[in-house]
Amino acid sequence: MSAGPRRCSRLLIVLSALLISGCAGGGAGVFDGALAWITGLVTRSRGEAIAGATVTLVETGQQSTTDAAGRYVIGTDHRGRGTLRAEAPEFLTLEWPVTLAGGVTTHNLRLVSMADFDAALFRELTGATDTRGTWRWDASTVTYYINRTGAYRPAFDAPLREAFTQWSMLTRRAVTFAEGGPDSAIQISFVASEPCGVAGAAGCAGVTRVTSQGAIRGALIELHAGYATDLGLAIHEVGHTLSFTGHSPNASDVMYYRMNAATAPGNQEAAAVTVLYDNPPGTTLTNVRYPAAQTSAAATAAPAASASIVAPAARPPHAFPAMPAQAPPALSALPDIGAMLRGWLGRPGCLLPLPFFCNSGSSGPTLRIW
Ligand SMILES: [Zn+2]
């Protein structure tokens, strides 16, 4: 993602082994101190309340129905690990782990409606084509390492943790993230100046490089220390590591290529990541499956949207160009990445006008630059 008025993000993906690259506790307040209380909001991704949702503490069967503001409250004797299940008509059921030690624990739960799924945006975000599969993590737990040296400050931790939590919830825990050591699959570091290697106004606030071989294998995130407290930036760059190799054309979306006020994925972005992680690595547009139908009649009707995946809507302004027809070059023949990026950044319109495809194909190495 890019900085100030001009933020950009670029993403490199190398297919093949070659690498070029909330849950806050609250005070007891009015709650009975003898019980552990779980409370929070059930909302769509962007925060719109879902009234009438049912939240269940699975271990005890205790339930709460959300009010008009989306709030639920459960008081329980249960201690230790538990599971919250949130259900609402037309939304996909979510289960989320909790730890109960007494007092009040807040868990805000985000639900996804398949009615929000937009096939064109899915294609834009994932870079999926009919012949080349999408990429995603195939591990259920992925570790990330925060390099606390250089330009790092402690204030950078919270946005990253929140970003990983938000995305994990939207995958419905198909993938969860845990902080790990220096050998973690996702490496995050901070630099005092813009990390994209471009000067002046074209500078960027964050850059993510992803390596992939059938599935995502690793990712490197570099954040500009001047912007690394920005939650939207953290969500954007972490979103790239989940295989959102493209950007949203919608200026209010968190995966838009410039920084904006977003502090959560948009509802359509949320539906896109949910669908992606309901499918195995390598899924293509033609064999994508939708999450299992929900119990309500309205929800079972929602997957009708699958008809649109066969013929995605016309692409908005940030459309990919057609794949070049020439055969893939040898990796040794790949041009200098920095020079190539600067060339693309120099084009009018936006910092990241078009992805650059060195080559394409399901078996050969693929390099893409944003
Ligand atoms: Zn980006």
Residue 332 inside a domain? The answer is no
**How far, in Å, from the CA of 317 to the mean position of ligand 1?**
16
Residue 324 inside a domain? The answer is no
Residues 68 and 120 in one domain: no
Mutual angle of helices 157-170 and 267-278, in 10-degree steps: 60
Question: How many structural domains compose the chain?
Answer: 2
Instruction: Quote the pLDDT of residue 193.
Output: 82
Residues 68 and 166 in one domain: no
Residue 316 inside a domain? The answer is no
d(CA 362, CA 364): 6
Residue 68 inside a domain? The answer is yes
Q: Residue 90: left if φ>0, alpha if ψ -120 to 50, beta else—which one?
A: left
**How far, in Å, from the CA of 119 to the mean position of ligand 1?**
20
What sections of 157-242 are H helices per DSSP? 157-170, 231-241
Q: From 85, 107, 129, give the residue that closes a domain.
A: 107
**How far, in Å, from the CA of 87 to the mean position of ligand 1?**
32
Q: From 107, 125, 144, give the residue that closes a domain.
A: 107
Residues 276 and 364 in one domain: yes
Residues 251 and 301 in one domain: yes
Task: Tell whether the model's pLDDT for residue 178 goes beyond 60.
Answer: yes
**How far, in Å, from the CA of 293 to the mean position of ligand 1?**
32
**How far, in Å, from the CA of 45 to the mean position of ligand 1?**
19
**How far, in Å, from the CA of 246 to the mean position of ligand 1?**
7
List, for residues 185-201, the tens digit of each pLDDT value. 999 999 998 787 655 54
Average confidence (pLDDT) over 11-39? 50
Task: Tell whether the model's pLDDT for residue 83 goes beyond 70.
Answer: yes
Instruction: Quote the pLDDT of residue 304.
Output: 34
Instruction: Quote the pLDDT of residue 71.
Output: 97
Residues 72 and 9 in one domain: no
**How far, in Å, from the CA of 236 to the mean position of ligand 1?**
6
Q: From 107, 125, 157, give the residue that closes a domain.
A: 107
**How far, in Å, from the CA of 244 to the mean position of ligand 1?**
9
List, for residues 273-315, the tens digit of each pLDDT value. 999 999 988 888 888 888 875 554 433 333 333 322 332 333 3
**How far, in Å, from the CA of 26 to the mean position of ligand 1?**
34
- For 50-101, the DSSP string reads -TT-EEEETTTTEEEE--TT-EEEEEES--EEEEEEEE-TTS--EEEEEEE-
**How far, in Å, from the CA of 83 to the mean position of ligand 1?**
33
Average confidence (pLDDT) over 150-178? 97
Residues 55 and 83 in one domain: yes
**For residue 147, how many C-alpha atoms fall within 13 Å in the half-sphere facing its CB?**
18
**How far, in Å, from the CA of 160 to the mean position of ligand 1?**
15
Average confidence (pLDDT) over 159-177? 97
**How far, in Å, from the CA of 222 to the mean position of ligand 1?**
12
Residue 12 inside a domain? The answer is yes
Residues 213 and 243 in one domain: yes
Domain of residue 282, residue span: 2-21+115-308+337-369
Residues 70 and 128 in one domain: no
Residues 154 and 229 in one domain: yes
**How far, in Å, from the CA of 238 to the mean position of ligand 1?**
9
Residues 351 and 216 in one domain: yes
Residue 326 inside a domain? The answer is no
**How far, in Å, from the CA of 240 to the mean position of ligand 1?**
7
Structure tokens at 145: 């390492």
Residues 82 and 119 in one domain: no
Task: Specify the CATH number for the domain of residue 57.
Answer: 2.60.40.1120
**How far, in Å, from the CA of 353 to the mean position of ligand 1?**
12
Pick from 33-37, 58-62, 79-83, 329-333: least confident: 329-333
How does residue 37 score in pLDDT terms, banded at 50, 70 and 90? very high
Task: Tell whether the model's pLDDT for residue 134 goes beyond 60.
Answer: yes
User: What integer best gives the mean pLDDT of the chain?
Assistant: 75
Q: Tell me if 264 sits within 8 A of 46, measured CB to CB.
A: yes
Task: Specify the CATH number for the domain of residue 291.
Answer: 3.40.390.10
**How far, in Å, from the CA of 368 to the mean position of ligand 1?**
13
Residues 91 and 226 in one domain: no
**How far, in Å, from the CA of 118 to the mean position of ligand 1?**
19
**How far, in Å, from the CA of 268 to the mean position of ligand 1?**
17
Residue 345 inside a domain? The answer is yes
pTM: 0.74
Average confidence (pLDDT) over 228-239? 95
Report the percentage of the chain scoring pLDDT > 90. 51
**How far, in Å, from the CA of 355 to the mean position of ligand 1?**
11
Residue 172 inside a domain? The answer is yes
